[in-house]
Structures are given as structure tokens and as C-alpha cells.
């Protein structure tokens, strides 16, 4: 564990750990909560539930679906490739042939910025394992709203389980460090007025990286001020199971509004 890699072995896992595994040649990581006895609870959008863009976004979403190593059939999970929502899988199906990594909580701002990729750590602190497991099992039974690549994805689910934090605004990304890093990189390259302060390639790179770091930092769930801690019971109570649109929306806005009014 360190700045360069968060890779761990299976025998090092503890119930309540937030774990992840890289997909699509390190383009995207799939996240979940290890709950013990070789099982992982995670949020997925499997085959047949893609957004239908015909782009790499569909490949990223489908990569979240659990699958056993190539050429094998899992006797524990069966075929979960078309399941949608919060599910429980064995650790091997969750990894889908990839390596195992541990998401870190309570890191310093300097350590956070030293990580070149988003979605590997946060400045926010984790709650005790019993709270993490309670949230994970509750959401396994009741769901976590509709999957959204930028506002309500597998990392958002795992971060909520670990911290109980939800974003109260609807105009920004969710809790996902991966989504925040992507948007920070886009902002650094395309929209920073500071790029006009230098004409050299090295100067432009330095300015762009500085903007990228600042945007990543202010988007971290441990730094943001547009978050609120919401008990999982309150989150579950706000789901309107009779509303067809509930399956498409993130759970955040209505739940937080209700929580703030109580």
C-alpha cells in the first residue's frame, strides 16, 4: 500500500473494506464492499441495461457486471452478467480476472494529490465496519437508485457505505473520484483561462496539471461542502417503489431534501 499502488491479497481483506479492480486496461475501476466469507456487495448495471450510446461508455458500464475468469463457470454465483442494481457476488466474480486493490480513507491532501488517478482514495474518513456492513446489506435488500456513470455509480455506492455521505446538489458529479478526475482533466485541458498565460509546452503542462489537481481536490467527498450524512434507513424510506421514474433517478436529491426538513 502506498502512493504507487493499493494492491492487496485476498487473505488481507477484512469485512467492511472498500475494494476495487481495474477494468478495460486500467480505463475504469469497479468498486464494492467486502462483507466477509469471500463475498462482495456492489452496484452494477449488467448486460442488456447499457445506455445504448454505442460508445466506450457502454463498455465501461458493462464492465461492472460480475463474471468468473474466462473459460469457467462460477458454481457460487451462476451467471450474473445481466443483473442490475445492488448484488452480492463471490470475490472471484467481482474481480473478473483482475487484481484486487484497497480503497484508502482518511488520507492527507498531499497524499491524495500524489495519487495520479482518481477513485483510489479520499480525504474523508470511514465509519466503523459495523456501520459499513449495515449500509451495504440494507442497500442489497432495497437498492441504490438508478445507475448513472457520473452521478451514481459503483464507487458512489461504496463511498456511501463507508461514510454515509450523499451529495445534496444535482448539478455536480456524485461521490466518485473517478468521475471527478475525468471532469477535472477535461476542465484542465479545455476550459482553463490560465492556459493563455504561457506559450511553452512545459508551462502549459504545468498549468494544466495544477488546474487538474485543484479541481480534483475540491471535488473530493472529504472536502466538499455540498454533502450531508444520511442514515441508510432514511435513504431507503425515501424510495418510492410505485414510481417508475425511481428506477432511473439517483436517490440523492429527494432523500436529502427530506432529511434536511426533518
What are the Cα distances from residue 226, in Å, to 88, 99, 110, 127? 30, 33, 22, 19
Is 31 in the active site? no
Q: Helix, strand, or coil here: 55?
A: coil
Catalogue the long-range contacts made by 217-221 (C-beta closer than 8 Å, 24 or more residues apart): 217/109, 217/112, 217/113, 219/172, 219/173, 219/177, 219/180, 219/183, 219/184, 220/112, 220/122, 220/123, 220/124, 220/177, 220/180, 221/122, 221/123, 221/124, 221/159, 221/163, 221/165, 221/167, 221/175
Grid coordinates 448486460 are at which residue?
47
Is 154 considered catalytic here? Answer: yes
> Rounded to 5 degrees, what are φ and ψ at 188?
-65, -40
CA distance 230 to 90: 28
Q: Please tell me which residue in 18, 30, 49, 134 is annotated as part of the active site.
A: 30
The one catalytic residue among 42, 64, 121, 255: 42
64, 77, 93, 154: the active-site residue: 154
CB 70 within 8 A of CB 86: no
Residues designated catalytic: 30, 42, 154
Amino acid at each position: 500500500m502506498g502512493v504507487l499502488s493499493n494492491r492487496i491479497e485476498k487473505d488481507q481483506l477484512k469485512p467492511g473494506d472498500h475494494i476495487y479492480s481495474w477494468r478495460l486496461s486500467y480505463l475504469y475501476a469497479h468498486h464494492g464492499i467486502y462483507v466477509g466469507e469471500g463475498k462482495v456487495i456492489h452496484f452494477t448495471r449488467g448486460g442488456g441495461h447499457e445506455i445504448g450510446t454505442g460508445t466506450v461508455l457502454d463498455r465501461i458500464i458493462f464492465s461492472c457486471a460480475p463474471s468468473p475468469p474466462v473459460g469457467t463457470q462460477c458454481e457460487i454465483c451462476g451467471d450474473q452478467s445481466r443483473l442490475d442494481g445492488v448484488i452480492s457476488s463471490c470475490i472471484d466474480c467481482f474481480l473478473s480476472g483482475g487484481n484486487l486493490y484497497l480503497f484508502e480513507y482518511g488520507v492527507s491532501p498531499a497524499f491524495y494529490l500524489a495519487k495520479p488517478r482518481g477513485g483510489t482514495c479520499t480525504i474523508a474518513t470511514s465509519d466503523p465496519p459495523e456501520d459499513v456492513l449495515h449500509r451495504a446489506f440494507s442497500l442489497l435488500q432495497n437498492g441504490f437508485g438508478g445507475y448513472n456513470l457520473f452521478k451514481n455509480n459503483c464507487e458512489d455506492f461504496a463511498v456511501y457505505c463507508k461514510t454515509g455521505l450523499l451529495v445534496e446538489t444535482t448539478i455536480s458529479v456524485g461521490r466518485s473520484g473517478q468521475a471527478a478526475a475525468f471532469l477535472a482533466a477535461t476542465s484542465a485541458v479545455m476550459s482553463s483561462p490560465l492556459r493563455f498565460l504561457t506559450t511553452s509546452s512545459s508551462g502549459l503542462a504545468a498549468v494544466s496539471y495544477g488546474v487538474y489537481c485543484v479541481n480534483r481536490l475540491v471535488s473530493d467527498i472529504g472536502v466538499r461542502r455540498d454533502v450531508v450524512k444520511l442514515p441508510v434507513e432514511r435513504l431507503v424510506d425515501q424510495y418510492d417503489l410505485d414510481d417508475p421514474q425511481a428506477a432511473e433517478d439517483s436517490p440523492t436529491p429527494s432523500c436529502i431534501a427530506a432529511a434536511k426538513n426533518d
